[in-house]
Amino acid sequence: MKKIIISLGLMSFVALNGMAQEVKAATPAAAPASTADIKFEKMVHDYGTIKQGGDGGCEFKFTNTGKEPLIISNCQGSCGCTVPSCPKEPILPGKTGVIKVHYDTKRVGPIAKTVMVQSNAIVGSQTLQIKGTVEATPAEEQFPMGGAPSKTGAPAEKGNN
């Protein structure tokens, strides 16, 4: 009885293993990868020190160095303060394009943000970076109505002469 059970188990194993190999052979080959490619002039934009409320715009220029049209499917900033704008139309081989990025400079402090660019290029997705520091604008001193402050530090008063 043991021999029958072991024989049936062994035959089942061999049969299932053979079927699994047939399924693998019947699976179609993966679609060929795109031959579009993207090459950026720079991957990082450094604002240096920028004033609060200053111009937070920058551009990342790129070239399609591949053999097919380059299609940028998505550009996404790492937060709501970093807003990218990508070309909607395909970039033909040998042609250039621009990804514009605007950073909201109302926030004071260091900048360290990224923009993820997804395309049909050989590399798939790439990450662009922006960095720098937003410096607070100095607050203006308010003087009382009537002129400059007095030398004693007390408010200036008008005399009744």
- pLDDT reported for residue 18: 54
Q: Does residue 109 contact residue 131 with C-beta atoms inside 8 Å?
A: no
Within a domain: 30: no
Residue 6 tokens, joined: 């072991």
- What is the distance in angstroms between the CA of the first residue and the CA of the last residue of the chain? 129
Beta bridge partners of 111: 132
45 C-beta neighbours (distance < 10 Å), count: 19
Whether residue 124 lies inside any domain: the answer is: yes
pLDDT higher than 70, residue 8 = no
* Residue 154 confidence class, pLDDT cut points 50, 70, 90: low
Classify 13 as helix, strand or coil: helix
Does residue 86 fall inside a structural domain?
yes
- Residue 120 to residues 19, 105, 108, Cα–Cα distance (Å): 36, 32, 36
Name the residue range of residue 119's domain.
38-135
Whether residue 66 lies inside any domain: the answer is yes
Q: Are 117 and 43 in contact (CB under 8 A)?
A: no
Within a domain: 102: yes
> What CATH number is associated with residue 60?
2.60.40.10
Q: Is residue 8 part of a domain?
A: no
Q: Is the pLDDT reported for residue 11 higher than 70?
A: no
Domains identified in the chain, total number: 1
How many other C-beta atoms lie within 10 A of the C-beta of residue 100?
14
> Greater confidence, 153 or 46?
46
- Among residues 112, 59, 56, which one has the least CA distance to residue 86? 59
**Residue at 28: amino acid letter:** P
Is residue 70 within 8 Å of residue 119, measured between CB atoms?
yes
- Residues 150, 119 contacting (CB under 8 angstroms): no
For residue 15, give the amino acid letter.
A
Is residue 27 a part of any domain in this protein?
no
142-153 pLDDT per residue, tens: 555 655 555 555
